[in-house]
Structure 1
Amino acid sequence: MSATCKEIKILQPTKEIWPGHPDSSISKNIRNKTRIARENLTFRIEFILLGFSDFLNIQGFLFVVILVIYMSILLGNGLIIIITNIDPDVQTPMYFFLKNLSFLEICYTSVMVPRMLKNLWTQSRNISFIACAVQFYFFLVFRITESLLLAAMAFDHYVTICKPLYYPVIMNHKKQVQLVIGSWISGIPVEIQLTYQIFSLPFCGSNKLNNVFCDIPPLMKIVCGDITMSELFIFVNAVVFVIPLLLLILVSYIKIITTILKLPSVIGRHKAFSTYSSHFMVVELLFGSEMMAHWIPKCKKSKGIDKLLSLVYCIGIPMFNPLMYSLRNKDIIAALKKILPK
């Protein structure tokens, strides 16, 4: 009897672990995969815009500076819209395009700067996946619209200088409206596709975007999958939109400068250059920063250059536009004197 009991004691079964048991290796693998998927999902739901986190000691100062710049952008571009609407002396095709450009700058800046100010004020740099995608989409659409409007303005200047007799036929009001509407809507389908292409990529690892808003370079840095097709689509997008527009503007201004240099009057040449040089300076600033941001190899960029160029997009160009077009334009200054107190 004792032997039997001893045998039973020795042969007592151990704790049985079946495949669905919590301690089984299969269950542990499932839990690990679930945890990793949950972490990756968290990264996809939310990003962190590092912004000015390197300058924690001057967050308040940066908030005040950016707020002042933002208010000046709203005021300057708003004044141009008001002037071109109420003063009959500046209700010409050139100012029709300028009015649309000023409205665009207000929309363009308002997509990014309020979020930047909120992050500085609250010290909370989180941005949801959807909010980042929306900000990214409108940023791209407004960038393309601005490029198209600048190209339309360059073409208008070309016709004014080089084909003055044909101007009423070539640039009638219907043509102007068509160019403006085309500028606003042409980039919409392409940028929807590009936004979908970027935000359908697998974001894993870090969810930190070292920038002040959701832009292409910082987003591509945290993608962990194959980005060959996305980079190809971005390149094709630049080739289709940016390069032809830049060539159109350059050819237009080469012809404009050639024609102006042939004018017999020195005063006439000076007036023509002062009128159209502002537009050319804006074009240089926009396309120059565009090429530096996306066409310079990553290995040759210094640390923080993407963030600096993003600030040029956000507040630099919109702030300089009204200054360049108003301070260097006698018609705008004369209209300002009419509506503002002496």
Structure 2
Amino acid sequence: MKLKTVSLTAALAGHSHAALRFGCSTLSVQRLDPLVQPGSVPSAHVHQIVGGNAFNATMNPAIDIGETADCTTCFFAEDFSNYWTALLYFRHRNGTYKRVPQYPNAVGHDGQVGGMTIYYTQESFTSNAQKVTAFRPGFRMTVGNAATTIKNGTQQQFGLRYTCLQDVLTRWPESPDFPAQPCPGGIMAIHHFPACWDGKNLDSPDHQSHMYNTAKAGFQTAGPCPASHPVRVPQLAYETMWNTTEFNDPDLWPEDGSQPFVWSTGDDIGYTTHGDYVFGWKGDSLQRAMDSDCFFRACGHNKGGPLKMQGADGQNRCKVQSTVVENIGTNEWLAELPGKAMKK
């Protein structure tokens, strides 16, 4: 089946209210996980992190990172939130591993280095049936499960998917599994978070119970929020473009024809895909955006929108020093994954 390539501009035409879509360059790549393993240095597996420079091993929820960070890798300069996912590796047929590089998404990511695309939308791009309430300082959540080996769990979470890219604009089809063949444009990993909040708890022991997921596949209109989680918050989503093209040589792939990509968790099927989020927008900036009718990068001041922006130079300058210093396979092949995560 030929993959469908969709123009973002055409596909999202006809919007009637605010939606943010913007790039964030890479802030850090290291084994830290302040939500699931706070204070552990190092954490079990490697993450790629974007956003504000208040990121650290503990991320005390009592500290408003929107007020303490002083730079961000994100296009909107008032967004000091942190966003992270696992790191993707390629496993050579000889059993060694190498980090898969990231590249910027299509449309409006000029100059970005690595990183991700971040979305904050209403319940859909075309419907505004319910007021959207911005997250509060101290809010955090995760989506997915870094320890799961069950396909059914991932299949039921429509927001956790992969797209085998023909080019940077490919958006279909989506799959819960890693692509089984080389992808000409790389692999896009997709993370859609729940958008219904209980209105009380900024977090929960599993970082998920305070939220409820009514999302459907892609950017379709979500279902109504239940009485237990009545507050509609922005639909948060990540898109990460993994540049797998340097590994498309069939002589590198397993001789048995199996696919060779592995999350830093050790998962070679794709079910442990997960995303972490810590809110850190400054003041009421995110609420102002959600209350407006701006769209994507036009939410910036230069287009009459409510948000401050910065150029790629500012995004790429913002970094945090690595707390965990180790070889993560950026320039050479590794005999095993950092931390020996989920070693088989």
Task: Give the TM-score of the pair, scaled to structure 1.
Answer: 0.23
- Structure with the bigger RCO (C-alpha within 8 Å, sep 6+) is 2
Larger Cα-atom Rg: 1
More strand by share: 2
Task: Give the TM-score of the pair, scaled to structure 2.
Answer: 0.23
